[in-house]
Every structure is written in structure tokens, then in C-alpha cells.
Amino acid sequence: MRVPSRRREAVVRRRPTFVERVEPFRVVGAASTGERAIGAVAELRPDLVLLDLYLPDMFGLDVIPRLRTAGHDCDVMVISAAREADALRGAVRHGVVDYLLKPFDFEDLQPRLERYATQRRRLMTTVVRGQADVDRVLAGTAVPTSGGTLPKGMSVETAELIERALRGTDGTLSAAECAALTGVSRVSARRYLEYFHSTGSADVSLHYGVAGRPERRYGRRV
């Protein structure tokens, strides 16, 4: 399958608004059932499928082996409310590139799509001369501390600033607390914190208050 200059994507049961806000992604189709998703992949040949697990006609993970049997090599990112450990383990066994829980905001999805795009570019362009090249590809997008490559619109200097705030705190930080410590906006702080979470360098926990949505708190992964 040839990859076009702009990345293609099929979306299962998710409005495309968030996706097309992330360059260079482009939505090429949507499907409301597993059978329709399989047909859409055959017709549209996307690079990435965003897959819900709670489909009306089958469990979402059952879509993946049918895609492979049909010869489709598209990547799959799970976006679902399924919190069962068996679902997560099954997704890992099926080789999904990421697993995002509903409900989510744009700031939750954006760093995962950017991470996927970076990793895919690395896979498509890498030349394996030795074990170091293999390790670099399999390691994914590590959080850079000096001069590394970050998603578009993010700077190494701000990444280092946020990382120092995470490293210097006892326990966890909210995006608002991180913003107050570093002097960046809350939106920027959350974007970097979510990026660190997507690359496996930070953990996220939810703090439930008296009312409203739970607060996301971030801690540096040891």
C-alpha cells in the first residue's frame, strides 16, 4: 500500500472534528458497525483506524483479526469506554498502537495522534544498520530533554520546563498547578503533560471532587 503525502484515516463511531484538527491527518470515512468498518477499510485503504469496542454487531477487537485475514495492514487505535482489563490485554495482543478511554477531550487525542504520526514516519524511513536502530524504532517517541524531536507546535525548552516541574514535585500535579509553577498557560501545560503521558514518561490519575468533571493529575513515571 502506498502512503500518500497526506495521511489517511478511517474512523469508527467518532465525529471527525477532533481528528482533522491534527496535521497531517485526514478523515476518509466513518462506519457505525463492525461489518461496515471492515468494508470501509477494504474500500478506502486507510493508514489508521480509530476503533470503538462497543459496536452494535460485534465486539470491536473481533474486527482486527478479520482485517488481518483480509490482508489489510492498517494500524488500529482503540477509542472506547471499555475499562475492563481483559479488553486492554486483548488490545495489546492484537497490536493496537494506542488505547484512549472515553470520555476525552481534544487535548487527550492530539498527542496520541502526533505520537503515532512521528512513530510511523520513523518506521517508514529508518535504515537498520544495527541493534541501536532497532531499539530506537521500538522505543517510540521518548520525551526529549535536549534537542529531540517534538510534535509540531511544541518546543524543547517548554518540554524541559514542564519535565522539571514534574520531577521536582512530590506526588502529582494538575495542569493548573503546573502552569502556575512554570509560567506557561494551563492549556499549554496540559498539552505537554498529556504528551509525556502518551510517551509513557508520566502517569495520570483522576481526582474526583464534590461536583463537576474529575481533575486529571500527572506524576512522573519512575
| pLDDT number for residue 210 | 61
Comparison of pLDDT for 81 and 128, the residue scoring more: 81
Domains detected in the chain? 7-104 (3.40.50.2300), 107-220 (1.10.10.10)
Grid-cell match 501545560, residue found: 189
Work out the end-to-end distance of the chain between its first and last CA atoms, rounded to an integer number of angstroms.
40
Condensed to tens digits (0 to 9), the pLDDT of residues 13-41 reads 444 578 988 888 999 999 999 999 999 99
Asked whether residue 9 carries a pLDDT value surpassing 60, the answer given is no
Percent of the chain at pLDDT exceeding 70: 83
Where are any strands of DSSP class E within 70-213? 75-80, 98-101, 173-174, 202-207
Residue written as grid cell 500527572: 218
In this prediction, residue 8 has a pLDDT band, given cuts at 50, 70 and 90, of very low
**Whose grid coordinates read 465486539?**
59
Q: Enter the DSSP assignment of 214.
A: P
- What's this model's pTM, rounded to 2 decimal places? 0.60
